[in-house]
Amino acid sequence: MNRRKFLIGCAWSGMSATLADAVLAQPTDPWTNEFSQALVADPSLEGYAGIAFDTTFSAKVAFAGKPPASLAGTLYRNGPALHEFGGLRYHHWFDGDGMAHAFQIADGNLTHTGRLVLTEKLAAETKAGRRLRAGFGTALANGERPSSRDSLNTANTNILLFAGELLALWEGGSATRLDPGTLATYGPKIWRADLKGMPFSAHPKLDRHGTMWNFGLDSLSGLLVLYEIGPDGVPARVEAMQLPDMSMIHDFAVTARHLVFLLPPLRFVRESFESGLSFLDSHEEIADAPMRVLVVDKSDLATHRVYELEHGFAFHLGNAWDDESGVIRFDYVRADDASRMLVGFKEIMRGTTKASKPSQSTHVTLDTRAGRCAQQTIVGGVEFPRVDERVTGERYRYLYQASQIGEGAIGRGFDAVRRLDVDSGAIDQYFYGSEFLAEEHIFVSESAHSAEGAGFLLGTVLDLRRRRTLLSVFDAMNLAGGPIAQAILPHALPLGLHGNFQAA
Partner 1 sequence: MFHPIQPSSALLVAAIMSAPLGSLAADLHVEVTGVEVGTGAVKLGLFNQAVGFPSAPVAGQRAIATARTITAVFRDLAPGVYAVIAFQDKNGNDILDRNLLGIPTESYGFSREATGFMGPPSFDGAKVTLSGDIETITVTLR
Q: Write out the residues near partner 1 by the rule CB under 8 A.
A: 144-149, 151, 193-199, 218, 220-221, 223, 225, 238, 240, 274
Give the bridge partners for 333, in sequence order: 361
Residue 149 is given by DSSP the state: G
φ/ψ of residue 353, rounded to 5: -125, 150
Minimum CB–partner distance for residue 268 and partner 1 (Å): 13
Residue 446 is given by DSSP the state: S
Minimum CB–partner distance for residue 190 and partner 1 (Å): 8
Minimum CB–partner distance for residue 94 and partner 1 (Å): 19
> CB-wise, 147 or 447, nearer to partner 1?
147
Minimum CB–partner distance for residue 198 and partner 1 (Å): 5
For residue 463, which of 409, 383, 402 has the smallest C-alpha distance? 409
125, 96 contact by CB (below 8 A): no
CA neighbours within 13 Å on the CB side: how many for 67? 24
SS3 state of residue 374:
strand
42/351 Cα distance (integer angstroms): 9
Minimum CB–partner distance for residue 306 and partner 1 (Å): 22
Q: Work out the number of other CB atoms within 10 angstroms of the CB of residue 278.
A: 21
Minimum CB–partner distance for residue 408 and partner 1 (Å): 42
Provide the CA 245 distance to its chain's centre, in angstroms: 24
Q: Work out the number of other CB atoms within 10 angstroms of the CB of residue 77.
A: 27
Beta strands in 52-192 (DSSP E): 56-62, 64-65, 73-82, 84-85, 88-89, 97-106, 109-116, 158-162, 165-169, 176-178, 185-188
386, 399 contact by CB (below 8 A): yes
Minimum CB–partner distance for residue 223 and partner 1 (Å): 6
HEC states along 126-146? HHHCCCCCCCCCCCCCCCCCC
> CB-wise, 220 or 374, nearer to partner 1?
220
> CB-wise, 96 or 188, nearer to partner 1?
188
260/336 Cα distance (integer angstroms): 20
Q: What stretch of H or E contains 124?
A: helix 120-128
> CB-wise, 139 or 488, nearer to partner 1?
139
> CB-wise, 194 or 288, nearer to partner 1?
194
> CB-wise, 107 or 194, nearer to partner 1?
194
> CB-wise, 198 or 387, nearer to partner 1?
198
> CB-wise, 123 or 503, nearer to partner 1?
123
Minimum CB–partner distance for residue 132 and partner 1 (Å): 12
> CB-wise, 240 or 327, nearer to partner 1?
240
Q: Work out the number of other CB atoms within 10 angstroms of the CB of residue 242.
A: 9
Minimum CB–partner distance for residue 199 and partner 1 (Å): 8
